[in-house]
Structure formats: C-alpha cells, structure tokens
C-alpha cells in the first residue's frame, strides 16, 4: 500500500493575500509577477494549492493575455547558453534548469552554435527561443532550436507560451517537493 502524499504548495495559494502570493509565486514566470497577480484576482481555491492546479490557472491567465503581454513574458526569458548564463546573471531557477540540461558544459563550438541560433531566432521572431529543458540534453535542444526556426511567427509564439507554462509547472512542482 502506497503512502504517497500529494504535493502541496506552502504557503497554500488559496490562503494567500495578493502580496503574499506575489512574494512566493510571482517569480514562477520569469520577471512577470503579473501572471500570479492575475491568478489571484481570478480567484483561488484549494485546488490551486497543488502545483498542477496553480500552474493550470496561471497558464490560463497567460493564454488569455494579450499577444503583447505574452511576447513580454517570452522576452523576459534569457537566451539558452547565452551571455547572461556565461556571466552568471540568470535567475536561480534559470541557472538550475540550464545546468540540469548540461548547458554550462557546452564546448566552444556548442556555445558558438547556441549564439548563432539565438541571434537568428531573435532576428526572425523578435523574442528569445524558449524551451522547457528538463529531460533534454544539448543535442536535443539544438535540434529543437533548428526545427522551430522554420515555424511561422504565430505558431512559434504559441509554442514558446506552451513551453513557458510547462517551465512554470515544473518550477511549482520543484518548490512543493522541497517543502
């Protein structure tokens, strides 16, 4: 018989004031606390105390946002294996995620490839390439990068948003598992 306990966020989002929710969960979306604020204003209940429950509601807030707001959230993400990563300027979450994919161990050629793809992608779409790197290695990330460069702008914006929502969910799961 399993005694597996479901993951619960602490503090419980359903019991948070706006300020408390923003303090504890406002950084789940990179430099975009408005997503947590929108979730609070939408209304939280006990279902949102689980990481996937809060992630689903916050994802809905981002999906319902204007395209300008969505693009601003995408632009808040750093380049993969980019200058901010090299100089140690990433958020703690981004540093951990990129390290987990081995991006901090890129060879000089791989860094050059990431830099070239980052520039081509930003030139084409006007925002950085975003991918949920958990479970991916450098080769898989580079392959996805090259493949997604062929997408239409609207498709790529939606793909980036879907990955950002996945990243947020993984961050919430990670926080709940450490609580």
* Whether residue 147 sits in one domain with residue 96: yes
Residue 5, judged by CB atoms within 10 A of its CB (0-12, 13-18, 19+), counts as: exposed
Of the spans 14-18, 74-78, 130-134, which averages the highest pLDDT? 14-18
Please identify, among 71, 94, 109, the residue that sits at the C-terminal boundary of a domain. 71
C-alpha torsion angle, residues 145, 80, 94, 90 (rounded to 10): -160
* Whether residue 29 sits in one domain with residue 52: yes
Q: What is the number of domains present in the chain?
A: 2
* Whether residue 53 sits in one domain with residue 104: no
Q: What is the pLDDT of residues 71-108, one digit of tens each?
A: 999 999 888 766 655 556 657 776 677 667 677 777 88
pLDDT of 99:
67
**Domain of 119, in residue numbers:** 78-166
pLDDT of 120:
97
pLDDT of 110:
86
Active-site residue identified among 24, 42, 77, 163: 77
pLDDT of 75:
95
In the predicted model, what is the mean pLDDT of residues 39-59?
A: 97
pLDDT surpassing 70 at residue 58: yes
Asked about 77 being catalytic, the answer comes back as: yes
pLDDT of 87:
57
* Whether residue 88 sits in one domain with residue 63: no
* Whether residue 147 sits in one domain with residue 111: yes
Please identify, among 23, 52, 71, the residue that sits at the C-terminal boundary of a domain. 71
By C-alpha distance, which of 161, 11, 173 is closest to 93? 173
* Whether residue 92 sits in one domain with residue 40: no
Asked whether residue 172 is assigned to any structural domain, the reply reads: no
pLDDT surpassing 60 at residue 109: yes
Asked whether residue 25 is assigned to any structural domain, the reply reads: yes
- Model confidence, pTM: 0.88
* Whether residue 123 sits in one domain with residue 153: yes
pLDDT of 38:
98
* Whether residue 84 sits in one domain with residue 157: yes
């Amino acid at each position: 018989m399993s005694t597996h306990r479901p993951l619960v966020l602490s503090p419980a989002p359903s019991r948070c004031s706006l300020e408390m929710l923003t303090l504890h969960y406002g950084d789940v979306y990179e430099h975009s606390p408005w997503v947590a604020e929108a979730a609070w204003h939408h209304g939280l209940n006990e279902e949102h105390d689980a990481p996937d429950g809060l992630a689903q509601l916050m994802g809905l807030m981002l999906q319902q946002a204007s395209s300008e707001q969505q693009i601003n959230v995408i632009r808040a993400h750093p380049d993969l294996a980019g200058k901010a990563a090299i100089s140690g300027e990433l958020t703690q979450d981004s540093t951990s995620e990129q390290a987990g994919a081995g991006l901090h161990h890129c060879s000089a050629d791989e860094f050059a490839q990431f830099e070239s793809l980052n520039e081509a992608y930003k030139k084409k779409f006007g925002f950085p390439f975003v991918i949920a790197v958990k479970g991916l290695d450098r080769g898989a990330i580079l392959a996805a990068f090259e493949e997604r460069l062929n997408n239409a702008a609207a498709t790529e914006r939606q793909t980036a948003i879907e990955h950002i929502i996945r990243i947020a969910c993984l961050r919430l799961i990670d926080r709940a598992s450490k609580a």
